[in-house]
Amino acid sequence: MTIDAGSRAPASSIATSATSRWLQLALGVLCMTMIANLQYGWTLFVNPIASKFGWEMAAIQWAFTIFILTETWLIPFEGYLEDRLGPRPLVLFGGIMVGLSWILNSFADSLTLLYVAQAIGGIGAGAVYGTCVGNALKWFPDRRGLAAGITAAGFGMGSALTIIPISMLIASRGYETAFLYFGVLQGVVIVIASFLLRSPSKEALESRAVLVSAKRSFAPFEMLKTPVFWVMYLMFVMMAAGGLMATAQLAPIAKDFKVADIPVSLVGITLPALTFALSLDRVLNGITRPFFGWVSDKIGRETTMFIAFGIEGLGLLSLAHLGHDPVLFVLLTGLVFFAWGEIYSLFPATCGDTFGSKFATTNAGLLYTAKGTASLLVPFSSLLTKATGSWHAVFYTAAAMNILAAVLAILVLGPLRRRMAQRV
């Protein structure tokens, strides 16, 4: 079994039309773009919801945690269905659920209904996310890092263009209208795109597996018995926690740092610091996924992890100390998201390298549940901040986990994968 991240078969040896697989990749990116606001646009709604109902911030953020849990922990089951039924029915189902979720959010007048709506959205987003990433891994076993990165980029930067329209709509018409209009739009686009999605043929999948990937593919339960999987899972949890905290809490952090509404001018653009940060963060959070995926195809997964995870830890420490300056707040949050988003290309690609293509969607989905586990820490970041009176303890904890994950990539994950390759 070849686990070398740089292994690549010549394009001419892959028995599938290049046009077909790039079209499938583009459709996956489009679908991922349409679910991005469910996670990355959430922070815009937190303060308006709190102002209207007077609910505790931690109670509102449990809705975000519920979304992440249902989005991630059901992906293995959804991946199991996709491996057998193909991507079309799963993405169709996901589009309907995504639209329904935000429509319900627009009418939610209790925490219970808000939680139910977020659970529905998580189920839908998970069906779309897991299917699109898994389908990309199947179509591109020769460029897993790049393909997973491009697909995940749709999720990472998909909300960049809608941050300003959503903010303006919330300010002019209320957050309820923003939920309703964008919920319908996102759901309809996903449903239409679902009818064009398909998996590579069985023959093409098997021929690529021989040419590029493993001599055999690990079934999900086989994968769960390996130490490699659990090391990756632990690293994924540690890396995801800090980024999810920043995603969900960026608006409250900006408010507490007293920079949210201060105008910032960069590259000829002037926007309030929070709006600028959200827009820049989404762009960088998207760019980083194909960029580091491509880098990892060249220099190896673990080396890339060490570099990116280390930058993330240093970025969080810098934000804790320098984020009270509005310009530095914008720049440092951009750095944090740039060094964080790549986990959504590096870990699926590493999983595909290690465990093969046949069960790629299910296996990547099982690893992706680590994001759900990490989301359990998000509400506690609000409680920790309330208890200590500042965000410093949260930033220090997240930075420490990121730096530890960087070290584990080099000292533990790399040797384990090499030994596993030799055995297989």
Q: What pLDDT, on a 0 to 100 scale, did the predictor assign at position 17?
A: 59
Q: Give the burial string for 105-144 (b: 16+ CB within 10 Å, else e).
A: bbebeebeebbbbbbbbbbbbbbbbbbbbbbbbbbbbbbb
169-183: average pLDDT: 94
What is the rounded CA–CA span in Å between residue 62 and residue 49? 13
Tokens describing residue 104? 């319900």
Task: Look at residue 213 and tell me whether its pLDDT is greater than 50.
Answer: no
Confidence of residue 204 (pLDDT cuts 50, 70, 90): low
CATH topology of domain 17-423: Growth Hormone; Chain: A; (1.20.1250)
411-424: average pLDDT: 90
Half-sphere exposure of 258 (CA within 13 A, CB side): 2
Q: What pLDDT, on a 0 to 100 scale, did the predictor assign at position 206?
A: 57
Q: What pLDDT, on a 0 to 100 scale, did the predictor assign at position 216?
A: 66
Q: What pLDDT, on a 0 to 100 scale, did the predictor assign at position 162?
A: 83
| Among the listed residues 152, 139, 172, 193, the one whose alpha carbon sits nearest the alpha carbon of residue 19 | 139
122-147: average pLDDT: 88
Please tell me which of 59-73, 179-193, 383-397 the model is most confident about, judged by mean pLDDT. Answer: 179-193
Confidence of residue 156 (pLDDT cuts 50, 70, 90): confident
| Among the listed residues 144, 172, 125, the one whose alpha carbon sits nearest the alpha carbon of residue 31 | 125
Percent of the chain scored above 90 by pLDDT? Answer: 44
Task: Look at residue 14 and tell me whether its pLDDT is greater than 50.
Answer: no
Task: Look at residue 16 and tell me whether its pLDDT is greater than 50.
Answer: no
pTM: predicted TM-score of the whole model, two decimal places: 0.75
Answer whether 7's CB lies under 8 Å from 208's CB: no
182-193: average pLDDT: 96
Domain ranges, ordered by start, for the chain? 17-423
201-212: average pLDDT: 56
Q: What pLDDT, on a 0 to 100 scale, did the predictor assign at position 405?
A: 95
| Among the listed residues 243, 208, 240, the one whose alpha carbon sits nearest the alpha carbon of residue 352 | 208
260-276: average pLDDT: 88
What angle in degrees, to the nearest 10, is found between the helix axes of 343-355 and 227-256? 170
Half-sphere exposure of 209 (CA within 13 A, CB side): 21
Lowest pLDDT segment from 116-120, 142-146, 294-298, 323-327:
142-146
Task: Look at residue 208 and tell me whether its pLDDT is greater than 80.
Answer: no
pLDDT digits (tens, 9 = 90+) for 27-66: 999 999 999 999 888 888 988 999 999 998 878 988 988 9
Lowest pLDDT segment from 20-29, 117-126, 143-152, 303-312:
143-152
